[in-house]
Amino acid sequence: MARMQTPRPQAAAMPVRGGRICLVTSRNGNNLVVPKGCLEHGRTAEQIALQEAWEEAGLIGLLHSRPIGSYRYEKAGTRFEVMMFLMDVTTVVKDWPESRWRSRHWLRLADAVARVRVRGLRKLIRKALAAEPVELS
């Protein structure tokens, strides 16, 4: 019997501004995703989410005080569980660390649902679309 693999924890930012969400291309350019990365020892999920928003999308902002939820996905045989934080974007820069490999796409939330392939991420975007404004930390 195959042993169930414990998912690797990740944190992600769902960057929003002016009623739109920012999705970035995956490294292979085939998918639209949110900025996310694996948790690191000594760093909080919030710190990772903010770092990934900067590195992958060139965005600076404020995270909502609580995660909107989480989703799971599998990549190259590894399972991941992603804790998602809504992020109100305050600054968008022209050049960012991964701008050579990724592009930004600002979409209305409803359009983003149609463009995202990962079911769990689509569910969280729908949740964000229906969410009332919540307090920022």
pLDDT tens, residue by residue, 34-90: 999 999 999 999 999 999 999 999 999 999 989 999 999 998 899 999 999 999 999
pLDDT band of residue 3 (cuts 50, 70, 90) is low
CATH 3.40.605.10 fits 8-130, yes or no: no
Distance CA(38)–CA(109), nearest Å, equals 25
pTM, entire model:
0.89
Whether the predicted pLDDT of 120 surpasses 80: yes
Q: Give 127-136 pLDDT, tens digit per residue.
A: 887 764 544 4
Q: Is 52 exposed, middle or buried (0-12, 13-18, 19+ CB in 10 A)?
A: buried
Is the pLDDT at 137 greater than 80? The verdict is no
Count, residues in the chain: 137
Q: What percent of the chain has pLDDT over 70?
A: 92
- List, in sequence order, every residue forming a beta bridge with 37; answer none if it has no partner: 11
Give me the chain's average pLDDT, please: 91
Task: Break the chain into its structural domains and give their ranges.
Answer: 8-130
